[in-house]
Structures are given as C-alpha cells and as structure tokens.
Amino acid sequence: MRRGVLIAVPYLWLLALFLIPFAVVFKISLSDVALAIPPYTPTLKDGLGAMLSQLDFENFVFLTEDDLYWKAYLSSLQIAFFSTVMTLAVGYPMAYAMARAPEAWRPTLLMLVILPFWTSFLIRVYAWVGILSGEGFLNQFLLWLGVIDTPLTILNTNIAVYIGIVYTYLPFMILPIYSALDRLDGSLIEAAEDLGCSRIKAFWLVTIPLSRNGIIAGCFLVFIPALGEFVIPSLLGGSGTLMIGKVLFEEFFSNRDWPVASAVAVILLFILIIPLVLFQRNQQRQTEAET
Amino acid sequence: MAETVFAPWNDPDETPLIRFKNVTKSFGDFTAIDDLTLDIYAREFFALLGPSGCGKTTLMRMLAGFETPTTGVIELDGQNIAGVPANKRAVNMMFQSYALFPHLSVWDNIAFGLRRETSEKDRIAARVEEMLKLTRLEKFARRKPHQISGGQRQRVALARSLAKAPKLLLLDEPLGALDAKLREATQFELMDIQEKTGTTFVIVTHDQEEAMTVASRVAVMDEGRVMQVATPPDIYEAPNSAYVADFIGDVTLIDGVARASSAGASSAQPDAVVTERKPQPNELGEWLHDKILSPVLGEREPAPQPDAAPQEVAHDGIAIDWAEGQAPLIATEGDPALDGQSVKLALRPEKLSISKDKPDAVNAFQGKVIDIAYLGNLSTYHVELAGGQMIKAQIANTRRISRRDITWEDTVWVSWSGTAGVVLTQ
C-alpha cells in the first residue's frame, strides 16, 4: 500500500506536468488556426465529438511542404552537434586538470565551475553581447593589441551562437567527465605504463575508455538542450542563424499560429526522444557495470 | 642425490641482478630511503618486510620506474636504470589493488602488455593461453574483472604481470586483499609459479609470516634502512638486532651486562650429551642375565644413568648479569669479547620450557604465571620472574585444556638451554 503511494507520486507528477500538457499541445497541433481566443479551432466548447471529428494532420503536412522547417531542424541538429563537439574539446581538458589537481584545490575548482549558475542565464548571455559586439570588449582588446585594424564581426553570426552554447553548457560537460575521472584509480595508469605504454598511449587506452560514460553523459546533457535552444540564437545569432527554437517562438508569438507551432514542438520532441533513450541506456549500463 | 642449495648470495662469483648502491630517496624533508645498499640475485624470491612507512614500497616503486632515487645508483643486470622510464624496463609489477583494467576482459588484460611489444596475433594468443593455464583461469578468459572473485582477480593480476616474461617481477602486498585461508593457499601457488617460471620475484609485505613462507631471503626494513638481510631461518634464529628480533615473531628481550664466562662458571650440564642409546633389558631379562647367563657372557655393561649428577663444566660463551641477586643468564654462543658491555638476550617463547618442579637446565628461574594466551594449538604463558622481569614461554597444547596443570598465579620454573638465547648488542 505504502509502496504503491510512493510509486504513484512520480507517475502523477509526470502525468500532470508532462503527459497532460503534451496531450494539449498535440491536440492544438491537429487544430486549425482561427482569429479567436484561444487562436485555434475546434475547442472543447464545440463538444467532444465535434472537436475530435474536426482534427486533422494538415499542419504536419504543411511542415513538410515549406522547406523552412526541415532546414531549421537540420541546422539545429548541426549547431547542436558541433557545439557539443566543441564543448567536449574544451571541457575534457578542464575536467582532466581538475581531477589531477591537488586534493585541497578540488572543491574550489568545482565551485568555480558551478559559480556561473548563481547569475541569471539571461544576464550571462547579454554579457556576451557586450563582449562580442563591434565596440565590445573583445574587439577593443584586439585593436589595442594591434592584432586587428577593423573590428571583427562576431555578434549576430553562427560563431557567436557556438560561443554562447559552449559557454553556457560547459559545466554540464565538465561535471560528469570530472566525476568519471575522479573515480579513476591512478594505479591503472601506472599499470598501463608498467606494461609498456607511453603516457599518451596510456591516456588513449585507459583514461579515455574509462571516462567514456562521463563523456557520453556530458555530450547528451549538452546536445539535448542545445537542440531546442532559443535564447542564445535569438540574442547572439543573426538573421542567418536558423534554429528550430527560434522558429517555434516566431510561430507562437509573431504569427500567432499556435497549431503550426505545436506541430513543430511535437516533431522536436520526437527528435529529442532518440538521444534521450540513448542517454538513458548509457546511464543504465553504467549502473550495471558498477554493481 | 643431494640437491644444490640455492644460495647465490654466498657465492662470490655470482653477480647480482639488482644492485642498490647508496640509494637515498627524499620527499621534501622526509627521507623515505636512507643510504641503502642491497643486492638481489637472479631467481631469488626476495621479500621486503617492514612496518608501514618503512620505505619498502618506495624501494619497489624505484625498481618499477615510478620514482627516481635522489642520490645513488640502482643497477639492473649491470646497467644503471635511473634514466629508463617505466614502460621501457624489463620489470613488471603486480599492484596491491591489482589495477586490472575494468573495461577489458581477463584475456585482454593479460594480452595488454604483449600488444605493446608485438603485433603478431598468434604469438600473443599463445602466450595468453599459456598464462591462463599457469594461473588456472582458462574458464574465466572472457569475463570482465568485476565478474570474478578476489582470488581470481589476484591471479589475473599475476598472469598479466608475468605475461611479458620480465626479468624481475615486483609484487606489492599481493595477498593483502585475500582472506587468511586463501592467502595461505596462494602463497604456495606463488612459490610454485616462481619456481616454474624462474623469474626473480621481489615481494613487499608487512606480514612476516608471508615473508617467511615464500621468500628465499628477507630484508627487514625500518625507517628507510635495511636492518638485516638473511634467509628466513637465519632472520628468525639469528637476528642481528633487537629490532629484527622483536619485529619477527614473538620474543622476550632481557637487558643485562655480559661477563666472559670463565669468571662465572656455574654448575651446568653440557648442552647436548650425546649418548649412544642401547636397548636395555627389562626386569625379567636382567634376572635371567644375572642369574644364568653372566657366567657365560661375562659382566653386563651398566646402563647409562639418565640423571647423572650435574658436571662442573666451564661452559663457553658469556653470562649475563641481569638482576640483583639473581643467577646470571648463560648464553653459550655469546662472544666472550662482549665482556663488560650491556647486551640484550633475545628469547623465543617456544624455546623455553615451563614446569612446576625445578628442571635441570643451564638457565632456570622461578616465577609466577600472570597471563595465559590460549591459541588453540599453543599456549603462551606470561611469567613474572623475581624482580619483575616478564618472560614469555610457549607450550604446545598436547593435552586437553581441562587437564592443564599450570594455571594463573601458579609458581613455576621457566628454563632454557644455553644455546636458546641470542645475544644482541643493538
């Protein structure tokens, strides 16, 4: 009885905060746009039977006809993928350095990684506008050094979006990798060297495989939110930056076409389910290997 | 056919495999190894024994190549190995934690080192199979380290470190993680494998029993110095210092002043009276002989009296004055040149006897039983001699404990022969 209650709590939570909203969004995606409040038809006011009979997949068909949408999906996947790779390239050495740092320093270093979360995400992204703009700190600094003559155009390009994503999601990459490397027994590296490995070879054959779960976890934690990212591309990206989060926002608030926006959201969710399932499986394997 | 005794350390023509020459290793202010000189010979099973922090692990890590000496030279096969990195040494190590690669199967763990030196698949496979067979792990080749037991992991670690056929195998507390029964069995297995492969083994341990069991020679270390290097029997029977005597096994150390024994001859019996034992007739036989056969055969040789009166012999060695008003301790193997110096007499408890009546022995002292430690097969009696000196005597429990005739608070005699004690000057 008590167990049943305990198990019911997370299921009720999921039902109330995920499944019901999803059902609502899915229903809207099957409706037609209308000049009304809410801006779609049919609604439950028309009666359940009448409402269900009027639903159709028109909006999903529309998404396949206009190439804006699939280009936005592809471009989002591309940006999410490359920014994940870049975050890994930046985050792995940082995590490695943290794990190899003297024991006494580690809490401080860990604190420094988490510290940015204490400031609003929005403010931090705006700060990058100040750094990357034409008259921003970066350009002023480079001009002062004499490296460049004319300010670089970074803001409102895809480069700025990459910088923003890598910066924002770096802690999500560092923390799982750090935790994997921290657990790594130093004598394994010594054993590899003892058996004839050079330092670099030991790193490839022992350190990397043993931090694999951390790498996978970190990559998913960056890739999944980056795919649907809206704030970073809209603040740092330019007109050329095509991301599905931005498209979604515009459909909702600029076009007020809730049904199409909902269809976009439903498809995004299905795309995200694939990496989520893979991530889940990785976590499960890790727990199995540890027991 | 007498086998030649394996003792290269006694052969002046033999060149050692490993030479430590005045090696010192410091970590900051701390001196882990202090001006150490040591030779280890090929095919030896050499044990480094000492309490934690004595530098034995540092010594081993220097051999493996994970530490470099601050000063001094380490030679392997006549070559200074100071500049040779760990991955280029013909030395392999079995780690205390085993350090098995968790992401690789047993097979791949053993093949790991071989893959670094050759790419011939057949040769690797053949060698791995050989190692699996040697360590009886054939059945577990495909398993991952977390899927096998502690004892099996220990054998995988051994197989992996032996796979490259190193000149020298280092074992860092190899049996520390095993339970007592398994450890004992594994010790013999280790000796067996060492004999089969002919590899030189250097084992680090803090377990003296383990060192005594497996090793051809034992080095007892303390605070970065080697206190004594000797075979297990020598280290036990003839320790060179109070530290070694105390570290290895149980011992009672009695302080005193040596006196050359010519000055203190006492009533004593020569230690080993060698008498030819002849069968003696029983009562009937005696009567038969005396009454009937004596005219024919002549007089019978008298039987040697078992309790011959103590002879006045001036024994060799020294006498040790240890307490006011007490008879001196006789140590027949003590060096008379120690006359007048303060010494310690080390007595192993199992070399002492304990009895209710005054025994006939060179050294016999009366005392009171304070404590009895019952160990099952043995009992250790803690006896307080007159003057407060505590002494430990061990007796095999050949009788049932209910029939034990000596108990707490009993007045007993503790005795030992003239050769039982070892005279130590440091």
Q: What's the confidence (pLDDT) of residue A45?
A: 81
CB contact under 8 A, A195 and B103: no
Is residue B276's pLDDT more than 80? Answer: no
For B99, the closest chain A residue by CA position comes to A188
Residues of A in contact with B101 (CB under 8 A): 188, 191-192, 206, 210
CB contact under 8 A, A187 and B97: yes
Return the structure tokens found at B295.
């005219």
Strands B168-172 and B342-347: unpaired
When mean pLDDT is compared across B182-196, B203-217, B258-272, the lowest value belongs to B258-272
Is there a contact between B97 and B57 (Cβ–Cβ < 8 Å)?
Answer: no
Distance from the Cα of residue B270 to its chain's centroid:
29
CB contact under 8 A, B164 and A194: no
Q: Of A200, A191, A174, which is closest to residue A96 (Cα–Cα)?
A: A174
pLDDT in tens, B35-76: 999 999 999 999 999 998 898 999 999 999 999 999 999 999
Q: Of B334, B339, B365, B363, which is closest to residue B268 (Cα–Cα)?
A: B363
Min distance B249 CA to chain A CA atoms (Å): 32
Q: What's the confidence (pLDDT) of residue B266?
A: 45
CA dihedral A146, A151, A157, A159 (to 10 degrees): 10
pLDDT in tens, A159-196: 999 999 999 999 999 999 999 999 999 899 999 999 99
Min distance B56 CA to chain A CA atoms (Å): 17
CB contact under 8 A, B116 and A185: no
Confidence of residue B303 (pLDDT cuts 50, 70, 90): low
Q: Of A227, A229, A187, A223, which is closest to residue A206 (Cα–Cα)?
A: A187
Q: Of A171, A163, A170, A114, which is closest to residue A136 (Cα–Cα)?
A: A163
pLDDT in tens, B113-160: 999 988 899 999 999 999 999 888 999 999 999 999 988 999 999 999
Whether this model's pTM surpasses 0.90: no
Q: What's the confidence (pLDDT) of residue A34?
A: 85
Determine what percent of chain B is predicted with pLDDT higher than 70. 89
pLDDT in tens, B375-401: 888 889 999 998 888 999 998 888 887
Is there a contact between B242 and B255 (Cβ–Cβ < 8 Å)?
Answer: no
CB contact under 8 A, B116 and A195: yes
Residues of B in contact with A197 (CB under 8 A): 87, 116
Min distance A42 CA to chain B CA atoms (Å): 57
Point out which residues pair with B379 in neighbouring strands: B374, B395
Q: Of A112, A155, A109, A159, which is closest to residue A132 (Cα–Cα)?
A: A155
CB contact under 8 A, A194 and B101: no
**Partner residue opposite A197 with nearest CB, options B91, B97, B116:** B116
Q: Does B147 touch chain A (CB under 8 A)?
A: no
Return the structure tokens found at B383.
């006896």
Q: Does B113 touch chain A (CB under 8 A)?
A: yes
Instruction: Examine the predicted complex and report whether its ipTM is higher than 0.90.
Output: no
CB contact under 8 A, A197 and B92: no
Residues of A in contact with B164 (CB under 8 A): 195-196
d(C-alpha B22, C-alpha B326), whole Å: 46
Q: Other CB atoms closer than 10 Å to residue A163's CB: what's the count? A: 21
Compute the mean pLDDT over every residue in chain A, rounded to the nearest whole number: 90
Confidence of residue B300 (pLDDT cuts 50, 70, 90): low
Residues of A in contact with B85 (CB under 8 A): 193
Largest CA distance in chain B: 94
Q: Of A219, A90, A110, A75, which is closest to residue A166 (Cα–Cα)?
A: A90
Confidence of residue B265 (pLDDT cuts 50, 70, 90): very low
Strands B168-172 and B200-205: parallel
Residues of B in contact with A203 (CB under 8 A): none
Which DSSP category does A195 fall into? T
pLDDT in tens, A60-106: 998 888 888 999 999 999 999 999 999 999 999 999 999 999 999 99
Mutate to test the interface with A, among B57, B62, B95 (most CBs of A within 10 A): B95
